[in-house]
A = this chain, B = another copy of it.
Amino acid sequence: MKNSSSPDKVTIKEVAQQAGVSTATVSRVLSGADEVSGDLQNRVLETVQALNYHPNQLARNLRKQATNIIGFLVTDFQNPFFTSVMRGIQDVLQEKAYVLLTANSDENPDQENLHLETFRAQGVAGIIFTPSQTDYSLHQNFLQGLPTVAVDRRPLGLTVDSVTVDNINSIRVAIRHLIEMGYHRIGFIAGLPQTFTALERLRGYQVGLEDERIGLDRNLIKEGFYSQEGGRQAMNNLLDLPEPPTAVLTANNLMTLGALQAIHERFMKIPDEIAVIGFDDMVWAASLQPPLTVVAQPTYDIGRTAASLLLERLNNPDLPFQDIVLETKLIVRASSGEKNCV
């Protein structure tokens, strides 16, 4: 730790006095290359050092009516997807001396609005968030002039930058892979249709089957909350079918866990009795027996991209808005192995 002897109470005034200049000059020196002669520049810098002066961020904030705080709001930080995104964001923002304020919305519009208001009240410089509502037309006004980037989902009725993944294609690729491995009866564990990603991934399932000229059997689609229990129930419903699927695709990482739980509870063998492809490559995916084939989202890059987008807009508010769509990657492991031992 610095040799700062107790909370610094050194102000710009004292630095100015000590250096024999005005506070304005000190401020100019510290706020980057303004028009200050090298002579004074050095004198100020030395005094700053000598006095161990740290500008008071609070005063700066008030004066500039702006902070170096970015608000990050997601549905649930306990979902590893978001912590990975957060990491990407932090790595980018830290370089530019921004700090991150975090909050959970729990997919609850009231909570979400509350936190957005709180962010605003804190004077955040910008916001990165995961929309959980179906319509944001009323927010356009609220977010006017407040740089905002949506991640994971695009907010309907709101003109902001966004970073999402190609959900539709993700599932198509997964289906093609299953077909190639010999699976033809493919179940789909979907999220609730009010969610952006759930909708897209379901669409991917439909398109994927069309690609392969396989008729859609609505019975093979089971919906649920994006949660472990939601996945477990959906999987159970699938397995209770008179003619259950031989392979299953999940639309969300927590649902994957629930699906696995249901499969294990019936002591079914993966992939012999049922092949599984999960969404998101979580840390545990490789530690399962058998290791899990997954659609891997570029979580860290989603975060980095979102933060970069925000930084750009902070610098130039009039930039055209961008919807960036990143590609996912199918990571093939043993849970979708060749269908041969039926």
Determine the residue in chain B with the shortest Cβ distance to A84. B78
Contacting residue for A6 out of B61, B102, B139, B144, CB 8 A: B144
Interface positions of A (Cβ within 8 A of B): 1-2, 4-7, 54, 56-59, 61-62, 65, 67, 69, 77-78, 80, 83-84, 86-87, 90, 94, 99-104, 113, 116-118, 121-123, 138-139, 141-142, 144-146, 228, 254, 257-258, 260-261, 264, 282-284, 286-291
Copies of this chain, tallied across the complex: 2
Q: How many angstroms between the C-alpha atoms of A123 and B260 in the bound complex?
A: 46
- Chain B contacts for A78, CB-based, 8 A: 80, 83-84, 87, 283
For residue A122, give the distance in angstroms from its CB to the closest CB of chain B: 6
Q: How many angstroms between the C-alpha atoms of A90 and B72 in the bound complex?
A: 14
- Chosen A-B contacts, 28 in total, with CB atoms closer than 8 Å, are A1-B116, A1-B138, A1-B139, A4-B141, A4-B142, A5-B141, A6-B145, A7-B144, A56-B123, A58-B62, A58-B67, A59-B62, A77-B83, A77-B86, A78-B87, A99-B122, A100-B101, A254-B283, A257-B283, A257-B284, A257-B286, A258-B287, A261-B286, A264-B287, A264-B288, A264-B291, A284-B284, A287-B288
